[in-house]
Every structure is written in structure tokens, then in C-alpha cells.
Chain A
């Protein structure tokens, strides 16, 4: 104690105010221990006889932030994003109604998609719908489906959803790659034309805008689907194969990537699905049969029409009869 008193008197002369006693300057080993347990200075690993990923870490610090992300950000915002996009589409429908061909059908059909392009499109589309529905089931089912089916009923649905999601994910990777290869050629941006298309709002609220084989909106969807799709696929593979010793922080990060990119794809796909089915007359049949009506091509893809108008062929007799009055359709679907 004498030493201490002498020390403090000496220090008090040297500096003002006097420093705290030495016992407070030294770090208490107990404090040190709990700082390490709580990982205050970043993740500190101990050792454990149990040898599984993360077993040597006492406290998983990233768990809480992942919980907050999933429960307070992802679930409400994903639900809101889906609702908002559906409402926007409904408003657009009310404003514009069904957009008809300007001059009706021409009776001449033009080949637009090859059989392999349609096969790639529909394989990817069906997988996308199944993966979206199963993914949304796992994300939002607790909130919306447990009240309907009960905990045990929903558990059976969730088991099936997880199984389909985990096994079809890698298949989606192959399908999207196939789709990309078949469609990339005509989706290369052509800056002047595409900029013009965007400046005129894609003709959504007025007259048709000049466009080649694919308009800028279609190109945008192609590149969103490809690039964001790549993020979904890579993150999905990391989550689907937890056999390489991934840590919890790794899984949480890729879950974040997977969920954000998947929600982007889902909401943008609503626009694509609406435009491809109910929004525009004579559009769904193009991807269904591979052929488009010449007047449809003139309306929506005038520059492309100029290139291919000589390849048009008359619609067969049964189709021509069926077209004006779909209710009287007798024959089978066109073979395409």
C-alpha cells in the first residue's frame, strides 16, 4: 500500500487529474472471459470435444440479427411487396383494360419461337412457379396457412414444399441456363431503341413504341431473370448442400441473398405473367403455339415484323374458323 500511495502522489504531481488506482486500470479476468463469451470483439473460437460446425463457438452472435432480418424485415416486406405489385397490376388493368390488336387478326401466322425455345421457356416457367410457391409456403405459411390447415396439416404441406424446393432447385439451374443460351442472342441491348422505348413508357399508356424482336421491357425481364436468377441459384446451392462445413454466418448470408433475390424475381415475374396472358390480345398463344399473328407482330414488334413478314403463312382452316368465335372451337389445339 505504501508503494501505491507514493506512486499516486508522484503521479498526481506529474499530471492532473490523478489517474485511477492501478486495480481499476488492470483488466479483470472475469470481465475478459464474459467479453469473449459474448464475442464482443468479434467471433472467438474455443475448443470442444464435440466436432460439428460451430460447436467450438459459445455464442452465435449473428443469430439475433438473422432473426430480426427474417421476422421483422423479410416476412412483412415480402408480403407487402407481393400485395403492392398485385395492386399495381389491378390498377393498370382498370385503367387500360385488355389491350386489343389494333386491326384485329390478319389470318396470317408468323413463326416466333422454335419448339426448343418454347420447351425451355415452359420448363423454366413451371419450375419457377413451383419453386416460388414452395418457397413462399415456407416463408409465409406460418402466418397464412397454419390458421387454415392447423399445425399438423401445415407441417405435411411444408415437408412436401421443402422436398420439392430442395430437389427442383438444381433442376431450375439447368433450365435457366438452357433458356439463357436460347434467348440471349435477341436480348442484347440496343441502346438507342431501348432508351426510346423506356422514355415512351413502353407504350403502356399510349401508342405502341417501335421495337425489334424483343422490346426493352422484355429485355429487362430477360436480364433480371438471368442475373438475379444467378444469385438465386448460387445462394440456393450453398443452402441446399450444407455438407461442406458452412458456418451459421455463411448460411445466414446466403439465406439473405436467396430471399431478397427470390422476392425480386417473384414480383417482377407477376408483370411478365400478366403481360403474357391476360393483358394483351393474341399474346399467350405465341408462347403456346410458337406462332404469332402478323397483326400482333406489326403492333408489338414492328421492326422485327419488317424482317420476317415474308415468312408468314395462312392460318389453317380450323384455326381461322375458331379465331373469330372461340366458343365455337371444335378442333384440337394447333400443333404448332
Chain B
């Protein structure tokens, strides 16, 4: 059984935000909701790195653990999805999530947040595949068409990878080897200098 994962290569991400734009466009996501975002650490300093982050489809998902109405489920591909008909918009998943993935369409008084929205790994939701209800609530269902999430497919530098965890780790391992174990090389460079 596959276990679908995202991986973002910090040595390749150039903070172009194309993944964010592709996601918003593909799923017709409302203003204020961002299923994916790019965060830059040490902006303008030595060692600046960017990472694109969205729902990481955890094996032991904290959102699912704390949900008071149990609206989350994990598909056979290891994708964490939720049922918007059951979600009550309490915001607990947002407090528990390590990655800030859950998003809410509203933010107003009396704790009104609307139904939670998050990255679906382009796998839709519990509605029947390719129906207008599914598209309206969860966006495009690319996985059922045999395609991978659009953010990763669009990534110009192939920093953002999506797919089966084993395949991704093979790709990343080869990259690290080809880079000549940069950490070690960095140490050697220090000695030369």
C-alpha cells in the first residue's frame, strides 16, 4: 500500500510561490484560505532557505486525534482527508497541527470560522469523484485520474516532490549523494579557507 507524502528540498526551493498559486487556481480556493504556503527562514542572511509547506498527511495525524466530531479519515493511499459535512469549524485541528495546514474561510466574533479547508493531496473528499459537490467543497480530484498534486507537478526547480514515500526518499537520497554530501564538503571548504 502506498503512503503518499510531500517532500520539499530546501536546497532547491527558490520561494517563487508557484505551488501556492497553482493550488489556489486548481481548487478555486477563496480569498484568505491558503492550503499551501512558502516560508523563508533567515531571509536576507547567510543560510537563507525556503520551504513550501501544506498538510503533510501524517501517519498519526494530530488533527484527527483532537477533532471533537471525528471528521478526519485516512485513505488507502495514506492521504488524510476530512468531511466538511461533519466539521463544525471549532479550530482545534489548527491548534494541534504542527504545520499550520488547517485553514478557515472566516474569522469573526463568536468563534465563527466556517468549515475547515486544507490540502487534500489533490484527492478530493468523501463526495463521489468528479462531482460538482466534490469540486465545490474539496477542489479537483487529480489522484483519482492517476495524477499527482499540481503544486509538485508545477514546481519549476523540482524542489517540491509528491508521491509514494519510498519513491520520494530514493529520489532525495540520490540528490544528496550527487551533491557530494554537502555538509562534509562544507567542512572541507572551511579547512581550505
Contact = CB atoms under 8 A, between A and B. Distances in A.
Given A26-B190, A33-B49, A138-B90, A154 B39 contact: no
A151 to B, nearest CB: 6
A28 interface: yes
Interface stretch (B92-100, B117-125, B135-143, B156-164): B92-100
A22 B193 CA distance: 11
B190 A166 contact: no
A164 to B, nearest CB: 11
Contacts of B20: 49-50
Interface in A25-53: 26, 28-33, 36-37, 44, 46-50, 52
Given A48-B40, A49-B37, A154 B69 contact: yes
A241 B109 CA distance: 5
Interface string B34-63: 100111111100110101010000000010
A56 interface: yes
B177 interface: no
A1 interface: yes
B91 A58 contact: no
Q: B17, B39, B68 — which one has the most chain A CB atoms within 10 A of its CB?
A: B68
B91 A251 contact: yes
Contacts of A81: none
Interface string A1-31: 1001000000000000000011110101111
Nearest to A240: B111
A34 to B, nearest CB: 9
B183 A30 contact: yes
A285 interface: no
B107 A243 contact: yes
A13 B144 CA distance: 68
Majority secondary structure of chain A interface residues (helix, strand, loop or mixed): helix
Given A23-B187, A55-B34, A66-B95, A155 B17 contact: no
Interface residues of A, number: 59
A66 B66 CA distance: 9
A66 B41 CA distance: 25
A46 B37 contact: no
B88 interface: yes
B99 A60 contact: yes
Interface string A54-68: 111111110110110
Contact of A49 (B32, B38, B184, B188): B38
Given A67-B66, A151-B86, A243-B109, A46 B34 contact: no
A248 B85 contact: no
A86 interface: no
A131 B34 CA distance: 33
A239 B68 contact: no
Contacts of B99: 58-60
Contacts of A242: 91, 107, 111, 113
Interface size bracket, B side = 35 or more
Contacts of A333: none
B37 A155 contact: no
A80 to B, nearest CB: 19
B67 interface: yes
A286 to B, nearest CB: 36
A142 B34 contact: no
A101 B22 CA distance: 77
Contacts of A142: 67-70
Interface in A122-172: 138-139, 141-142, 146, 151-152, 154-155, 158-159, 162, 166-167
A99 interface: no
A57 B51 CA distance: 11
A273 B69 CA distance: 30
Interface in B64-92: 65-71, 83, 85-92
B95 A52 contact: no
Shortest Cβ-Cβ A-B pairs, 7 listed: A23-B187, A50-B37, A155-B86, A46-B41, A46-B39, A166-B110, A67-B96
Interface of B: 10, 17, 20, 32, 34, 37-43, 46-47, 49, 51, 53, 62, 65-71, 83, 85-92, 94-100, 103, 107-113, 182-184, 186-188, 190-191
26 contacts: A26-B187, A26-B190, A30-B186, A31-B183, A33-B47, A37-B51, A47-B39, A48-B38, A57-B100, A61-B98, A63-B97, A63-B98, A67-B96, A146-B69, A146-B70, A154-B69, A155-B69, A155-B71, A162-B88, A162-B89, A162-B90, A166-B112, A240-B109, A243-B107, A248-B95, A255-B95
